[in-house]
Structure 1
Amino acid sequence: MDRIPPRDGYGKALLRLVETDERIVVLDADVAKSTRTEWIKTAKPERFIDMGISEQDMVGTAAGLALSGMIPFATTYSVFLAGRAWDQIRTTVLYSGCNVKLAGAHAGINVGPDGATHQAMEDAGIMRGLPGMTVVVPCDAIETEKATMAIAALDGPAFIRFGREAMPVVTGEDTEFELGKARLVSEGDDVVIFANGPLVYEAMEAGQELLKEGIHAMIVDVHTIKPLDCECIVNAARKTGAVVTAEDHQDIGGLGSAVCECLSGQYPVPVIRVGLHNTFGESGQAGELMEKYGLSRSHIISAVKRALELKR
C-alpha cells in the first residue's frame, strides 16, 4: 500500500485548478514548502501570494479577493489558521458571505515532533460551529485532492484539514467522492465505526482484527462533518445498534460530537468516541503519539467492544 502525505494531494489539486480556472489564487503564510503551495509559486507565480507570518492579514486579503470575483485558497498550518485568524474567518469571511477556501495543513497529532503548540486538535470543532461553513476531513492524498477540487466548485466558504505525515492510500482514482455524503468502506452488522482523516485506515485495520474474533464492523468514511450525512449515520446505527467514532481531534466538537448530535434526536444508541480526551499532545513520532493518546487501531478495537457491551 502506497504511503503519500495528504498535502501532496492538496498541491496536486491546486496545480490542476490554476491551469483550468483563472479565478483561482493561492495564499500562504510563510509555510509554502510545507503545505505544497510552493508548487503553485513555481508553476504559476502570478497566482500565488505569500503573506508572511500574518494569518489574519492572509484571511482578510482572501476575503477581498473573493469579493473581487476570485476564488482564494488561504493556506497555513491548521492550528494557526483556526486559532490566530478566527475573528477574520468568522466576521470577514462567514458573516460577509465570502467565497473563501481555507486549508489547514499539519492538522492533528500526527504532526508529531512539532509538538503540542503545532498540533491542531480543536480546529474542526472551531470551524464546524461557524454558520455557513463546510468542513472536510479527507482520509488520504487521493481523497484530499478530490476534496480540494470539490470545495473549489462549491459556491461558499469551506475548510479542509489534512495532516503532514505520509499516510496509507486507502482510496483510488475511481473511488466516489461527494461533499456531504459519507462513503461506505465495508459492510458489517454488529457495530459501525464512523471515521475520518488518518483514522479511516486505523478503523480498516481494526475491522480486520475484529473479524478474526467474529465481530463484523461496518466502516464509514465521514469525510464531510458539515454538512453531515445524518441519513447515512442513522441508517447505519439502525442496522448495527452500536456506534464508534474515530478521529485525530479532540473527542468533543468534531466528528464524535456531530454523530452524537445527529443520533440523539433520531435514533439513540450507544456511542463510544475515540479521540483526544481533554488534553494537549506532545512531541514524538506520529505512531507513538497515536498509541499514547488513544487513537490507534487497538483503541478502536477496545471502543468497539465497549459499545457492544452497552448494546447488549
Structure 2
Amino acid sequence: MAGLTYTMLDTTNLSTAEIYGKVLCDLGEQHPEIIGLSADLAKSTKIGVFAKKFPNRFFNLGIAEQNMFGIAAGMANAGLVPFVSTFAIFTSMRALDQVHTDICYQNLNVKMIATHAGLSFGQAGSTHHCTEDLSIMRAMANCKVIAPADGIETANAVQAAYETNGPIYIRINRGFDQKLYTKMDYGFEIGKAVQMVDGTDLTIIACGSCVYQAVEAAKILDTVDGIKARVLNMHTIKPIDVEAIMKAVHETRRIITVEDHNVLGGLGSAVGEVIAEGGKACAFKRLGIPDEFSIIGLHEDLMSYYKIDTNGILENVRELMGKDFEEDDDWEDEV
C-alpha cells in the first residue's frame, strides 16, 4: 500500500483495518480536534498512518491500555475527539474499568476502534481471541456498538462515529475481509440494518465477517434449494434495529443469527431479546462460538469449525426449514 493516494474509491482495494487508518487521516485533515492514541500497536491497528501524517496529534502510550483510556477520557473532557486503537480483547477486557468509569459513565466523546476482533487473529491463541466483546460493550450504558461487514462499511462507520457524540465501540477484524459493497452511498445509518438479500422463507441476521458468508449462503439456497432467504446486515448491535427484526419475524417466521462471537450476549442474544419482547412466535437459532474458549487456528478454518461460514449456515438453514414453529400460520393466537 506504500505510495497509495487515498480516495473513497480506493476502499474496495484495502483491508478493513487499512481503510480505518486512511479514513481517519481524511477526517483529521478536516477536523483538527481529532487525535489518535494507541498502546504500542499503531502498525497492527493501522492508526500508524495517522501518526505519520499528524505526529503532533498522535500519542503512543506503550503497553498500558488502562492508562491510555483514562488519558483519552481527559482529552475528550478538554474538547478533543480521541480515536483510540488497540486490539478488541484489550479494549473490552484489559481496560474495561477505565472504559466503564472514565468514558461510558461520563458519556465522553471517545471513539474506540477495536481491531483483531472475534477469531480473526485465530492463530494467536486464546489471549488474542475476542469472542465476548459484543456482550460486554453493549452492556455499557451510553455506548453504541458497531460491527462493520467490510471495508467500505468501516469507512462509513468511522465517519458516522465522528458525527455522533458519545462513546462508540467499532469492532473490526484483523483485515482482509471479503468485499460486500462497491460504493459508499448504500444508506449506512447507525442503528439501521441493511437488507442485503430479499426473501420470504427465512431471515439470516448477521454482523461483521459473517455477513458475506450469509449472502453467499442465500445465493446457494435460492439456486439449489429454492429457498428465499432474506439477509440483514445488522452492523449496529446497539442500538439494534427493532423494526427490521420484527418485520422479518412477521414476514418470514424463521430467524437465524450468525456472528463471530460467543452465542451468549452478542448479536443472537440481542435479536432474541427483541423477539421475546415482540410477542410473536418464530423458529429461532443462534450461530456463533459455543460457551467455550475457541480452538486455535486460521480464521477461515475456525469459521468452518464453528459453522459460521457459508457451509455452516447452509446446514443450519436447511435444518431449521424442516422444523414447524406452530400448528398454523394464524397470528390471532399470538400474545
Q: Which interval holds the TM-score relative to the shorter structure? A: over 0.9
Matches within 5 A, 1:69-148: 69-148=79-158
Larger Rg: 2
One-letter amino acid of the structure 2 residue matched with residue 289 of structure 1: L
Matches within 5 A, 1:132-281: 132-173=142-183, 174-211=185-222, 212-266=224-278, 267-281=280-294
One-letter amino acid of the structure 1 residue matched with residue 80 of structure 2: M
Q: Distance in 2 between matches of 1:265 and 1:251?
A: 19
What's the offset of the Cα at 1:297?
1.2
Q: Distance in 2 between matches of 1:165 and 1:279?
A: 24
**Other structure's SS at 1:168 match:** coil
Structure 1: which 5+ runs fail to align?
none
Q: Deviations over 1:204-241 (max 9, x none)?
A: 11111111211110001000010011001100111000
Choose from 20, 39, 46 the match for 1:36. 46
Q: Distance in 2 between matches of 1:115 and 1:223?
A: 26
One-letter amino acid of the structure 1 residue matched with residue 97 of structure 2: D
- In the other structure, the counterpart of 1:291 is 304
Contact persistence 2:148–2:154 (CA under 8 A):
yes
Structure 2: which 5+ runs fail to align?
1-11, 326-335
Contact persistence 2:85–2:114 (CA under 8 A):
yes
What's the offset of the Cα at 1:283?
2.8
**Other structure's SS at 1:176 match:** coil
Q: Deviations over 1:59-107 (max 9, x none)?
A: 0000000000001011100001101110111111111121111111000
What's the offset of the Cα at 1:120?
0.6
Q: Distance in 1 between matches of 2:106 and 2:57?
A: 24
Contact persistence 2:210–2:308 (CA under 8 A):
yes
Q: Distance in 1 between matches of 2:306 and 2:319?
A: 18
Contact persistence 1:272–1:304 (CA under 8 A):
no
- In the other structure, the counterpart of 1:307 is 320
Instruction: Label 1:291 to 1:233 Cα distance change in 2 as closer, same or farther (>3 A).
Output: same
Q: Distance in 1 between matches of 2:281 and 2:99?
A: 34
Contact persistence 2:18–2:175 (CA under 8 A):
no
What's the offset of the Cα at 1:308?
1.9
One-letter amino acid of the structure 1 residue matched with residue 249 of structure 2: A
Instruction: Label 1:6 to 1:116 Cα distance change in 2 as closer, same or farther (>3 A).
Output: same
**Other structure's SS at 1:74 match:** strand
Higher relative CO (Cα under 8 Å, sequence separation at least 6) belongs to 1
Contact persistence 1:111–1:118 (CA under 8 A):
yes
Instruction: Label 1:204 to 1:250 Cα distance change in 2 as closer, same or farther (>3 A).
Output: same
> What's the C-alpha RMSD, in Å, of the aligned pairs?
1.2
One-letter amino acid of the structure 2 residue matched with residue 274 of structure 1: L
What's the offset of the Cα at 1:293?
2.1
One-letter amino acid of the structure 2 residue matched with residue 246 of structure 1: V
Aligned residue pairs, count: 311
Q: Distance in 2 between matches of 1:140 and 1:260?
A: 25
One-letter amino acid of the structure 1 residue matched with residue 204 of structure 2: I
What's the offset of the Cα at 1:53?
0.6
Q: Deviations over 1:91-146 (max 9, x none)?
A: 11111121111111000112121122101100111000111110000000110111
**Other structure's SS at 1:135 match:** strand
What's the offset of the Cα at 1:4?
4.1
One-letter amino acid of the structure 1 residue matched with residue 207 of structure 2: N
Contact persistence 2:22–2:50 (CA under 8 A):
no
Q: Distance in 2 between matches of 1:110 and 1:89?
A: 23
Q: Taking structure 1 as the reference length, what is the TM-score of the superposition?
A: 0.97
